[in-house]
């Protein structure tokens, strides 16, 4: 049980850090919360069995990093559209082409 909790906690904590770095950072809250739960289970088991808690500390550290990063991004990042110059140029080009193609069109309803 202790080993399984440590392994799962470690995997989930690493996943949380990866997600926190990516633009889908909000999703990192789920693995981070699960990693924390497995970390606590592993910590309690280790205390009971009087075994080392070094790896569990890594799980907590990674979880804290992921939560801090995702929390910071959630509060301070502003959603804005990137560079759309090319798209605007394309829109103008297509409009000019359309005007030329539809010039001889006569609408009959």
Partner 1 sequence: MKFKLTLLIALIAFSFSNGQDNKAFNAGEKLTFAASYNMSGILTDVAEVKMETSEMRTSSSTLMHLKCTATTYSDFDSYFKIRDLYESYVNPRTITPYLYNREINEGGYYKYVKYKYNHKTNLVESLIRKKTSKSKTGYWDQNNTVKINSNARDIVATIYKIRTLDIHKAPIGASDSFTVLFDNKMTKTSFKLLGKETINTALGKKECYKLAINVAGNNLLKGNNANLLWLTADQNKVPVYAKFKIAVGSGELKLKSATGLRN
| Neighbouring C-beta atoms of residue 20, cutoff 10 Å | 25
Residue 75 as a binder of partner 1 (CB under 8 A): the answer is no
Residue 4 as a binder of partner 1 (CB under 8 A): the answer is no
| Neighbouring C-beta atoms of residue 33, cutoff 10 Å | 14
Among 50, 75, 76, 107, binds partner 1 (CB under 8 A): 107
The 33-62 site mask, x for binding partner 1 (CB under 8 A), equals ------------------------------
- Of 71, 59, 1, 87, the closest CA to residue 29 belongs to 71
Q: At what angle do helices 2-21 and 54-76 cross, to 10 degrees?
A: 30
- Chain contacts with partner 1 (rule: CB under 8 A): 22-27, 29-30, 77, 79-84, 86-87, 90-91, 94-95, 98-99, 101-107, 109
């Amino acid at each position: 049980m202790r080993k399984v909790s440590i392994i799962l906690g470690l995997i989930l904590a690493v996943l949380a850090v990866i997600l926190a770095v990516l633009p889908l950072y909000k999703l990192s809250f789920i693995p981070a919360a699960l990693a924390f739960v497995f970390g606590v289970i592993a910590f309690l088991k280790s205390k009971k069995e009087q075994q080392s808690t070094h790896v569990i500390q890594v799980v907590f550290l990674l979880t804290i990093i992921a939560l801090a990063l995702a929390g910071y991004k959630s509060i301070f990042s502003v959603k804005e559209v990137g560079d759309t110059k090319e798209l605007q140029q394309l829109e103008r080009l297509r409009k000019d082409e359309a005007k030329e193609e539809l010039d001889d069109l006569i609408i009959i309803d």
